Structure 1
């Protein structure tokens, strides 16, 4: 390596430390340089020490190397065994907690079902008493007609009549979906989301439906269709595939309009892309149940 090249790299300067006042007797002061050492000393000092130890016969015996390797392997095995034991003990506790929570949920669901049945029975008794008290005169019958109209608008009464039945079924096999729905539910086979059923229900209303139910739950003014994790809730009640949507109304007219609606077009796209099952049929008799009876805040008898 030439002197000019070393100077350009900022390495050792041969003129470094030379006294300008004593030109006849220059004094050189060695200046260490990291770049110079990197360019001239290519081997790590540890390699040289190891080579010297080997040459002097001070190399570590082979059995010592095996002992250290065996100790390391035993240490790794102990760590893995401890981790597995902890995981098993934790899994047992998690399973017990899950069973306890599942039992509590089933008990709460049973109690809720019993209370809902009692509530509906009491509401039916109240309705019967109200009707028997008001049917005696013209004023009472007029009031009953107004109450019936209000109950129908609030989805508080069951409806039977001609209409449409729409059955939507999730695909049977897992597919590699890439849309936003699968990004929200990784590893799931669910394709139908709450917004799909919402669009479907709105399309039925726009097609002339007079009463609609989703999964056996009446859709009324205070009812929502929303996503909860991997499930769909209608009025806070879980529904599962196949999703059956019933709509009471003029079947022929309603079907013609519904065939061109955005809700059915969305389902047809999912059917073509992901294998979702979609079936639309007209029927002479469709039964839509009554919705949940809402809480009565106060009441008083007329005339007092």
Structure 2
């Protein structure tokens, strides 16, 4: 009966075969990779992609501003020589404010949203999940919806004017708005009757849920009325993102 072990000669032959196969594999791998690492990670992180996109957006915005100045100069020259052109430009100027293309000032309400801070020992509450402790896209959208419903005449977030095509979006733990990324705190300002806007914020279901999480986990919610607030003009392209 065999004891299941190979004789020394068989072991030597097996070892030789293994070495030959290993050498063949190494040689094939080097040829395929051309001497480089096969599994080298060339997939950039999402945050890196966002930074690159923002840099490109900034460059394009500078080009856009320069072209806008050239167009304005050409329009001004054409209006001087043509009354019809001047009339059309007057109509366009009248539409700038409703379109959000002019800065606005007045009374209103500012809401500031922030992520939950850590405890004194540097930890988060034991019963909280990571999603419970950060400001989400739906939280921002709930505040914006409530402000519009409360009769806001103009709204800004951070240093950007919110227009009909604006779409704040969460990218990881940051917010993407009009091609730029922002981290908390998120400051949202609405011009209008402070009392009506405040009443609308109190009635908005999404805001009420956020306030519950604020009480339980420490998410920041600061609401302040003001008599002399400023909302900047929209400076983006025709299709805001």
Q: TM-score with structure 2 length normalisation?
A: 0.63
Which residue in the other structure is 2:149 paired with?
206
**Is the alpha carbon distance of 1:105 and 1:270 closer, same or farther for their aligned partners in structure 2, counting shifts above 3 Å?**
closer
Question: Given the alignment of the two structures, is residue 294 of structure 1 paired with residue 238 of structure 2, yes or no?
Answer: yes
Could you tell me whether the CA contact under 8 Å between 2:115 and 2:185 is conserved in 1?
A: yes
Question: Given the alignment of the two structures, is residue 117 of structure 1 paired with residue 62 of structure 2, yes or no?
Answer: yes
2-side partners of 1:132 and 1:257: how far apart?
A: 47
The Cα shift of 1:240 comes to 1.0
**Is the alpha carbon distance of 1:262 and 1:143 closer, same or farther for their aligned partners in structure 2, counting shifts above 3 Å?**
farther
**SS at 1:117 equivalent:** helix
**Is the alpha carbon distance of 1:192 and 1:105 closer, same or farther for their aligned partners in structure 2, counting shifts above 3 Å?**
closer
Choose which of 125, 129, 135 in structure 2 pairs with 1:192.
135
Aligned pair count?
195
Within 5 Å, which residues of 2 pair with 1:45-64?
A: none
**Is the alpha carbon distance of 1:97 and 1:284 closer, same or farther for their aligned partners in structure 2, counting shifts above 3 Å?**
same
Choose which of 156, 176, 179 in structure 1 pairs with 2:101.
156
Question: Given the alignment of the two structures, is residue 175 of structure 1 paired with residue 125 of structure 2, yes or no?
Answer: yes
Which residue in the other structure is 1:274 paired with?
217
**Is the alpha carbon distance of 1:198 and 1:139 closer, same or farther for their aligned partners in structure 2, counting shifts above 3 Å?**
same
Within 5 Å, which residues of 2 pair with 1:36-51?
A: none
Could you tell me whether the CA contact under 8 Å between 1:167 and 1:244 is conserved in 2?
A: yes
Unmatched 5+ stretches in structure 2 = 1-36, 119-123
Q: Pick 1 or 2: higher relative contact order, CA cutoff 8 A, min separation 6.
A: 2
Within 5 Å, which residues of 2 pair with 1:74-153?
A: 94=41, 102=48, 109-124=54-69, 126-127=71-72, 130=75, 143-144=88-89, 146-153=91-98
Residues 192-240 of structure 1: CA deviation (Å, up to 9, x unaligned): 2111111110100011111112232222122112233443322343221
Q: CA RMSD for the aligned pairs? A: 3.7
The Cα shift of 1:160 comes to 2.6
Structure with bigger gyration radius: 1
Which residue in the other structure is 1:254 paired with?
197
Residues 38-61 of structure 1: CA deviation (Å, up to 9, x unaligned): xxxxxxxxxxxxxxxxxxxxxxxx
2-side partners of 1:193 and 1:285: how far apart?
A: 29
1-side partners of 2:69 and 2:133: how far apart?
A: 38
**Is the alpha carbon distance of 1:172 and 1:220 closer, same or farther for their aligned partners in structure 2, counting shifts above 3 Å?**
same
Unmatched 5+ stretches in structure 1 = 1-89, 296-304
Could you tell me whether the CA contact under 8 Å between 1:214 and 1:243 is conserved in 2?
A: yes
The Cα shift of 1:265 comes to 2.0
